[in-house]
Amino acid sequence: MKTDTQKVLPEEFILSVLSPEQRLDAVLRLSSEAFQKTKLTLKGIETAVKKIRKKVYDKKKNSY
C-alpha cells in the first residue's frame, strides 16, 4: 500500500496548535514588526485584521 507524504511548513504547524485568539495575537505581533517602518498604525492593522476575519467568519457561517 502506498502512503501519501505531505510537506508541512513549520509556520502552518505552529499556528495550527494555537487557539484562534492566540493566532490573532501572533498575527498582530508579526504584522506590527513587519510594518514598523511604514505609515500604518497598529490600530489600522488591527482594524484590517478584524475586518478580514469577520468576512471569513461570515462566509463560513453562510456556507453551513
Q: Look at the block and give the residue holding cell 457561517.
A: 61
CA distances to 17, 33, 45 from 37, in Å: 30, 8, 13
How high is the pLDDT of residue 64? 56
Specify the 3-state DSSP secondary structure of 2: coil
pTM (two decimals): 0.42
Q: Per residue of the chain (64 residues), give pLDDT as tens.
A: 667 777 767 766 777 788 888 888 888 888 777 777 878 777 887 888 888 888 877 876 776 5
The three cell numbers of residue 39 are: 505609515
Q: Which of 56, 23, 28 is nearest to 44 (CA)?
A: 28
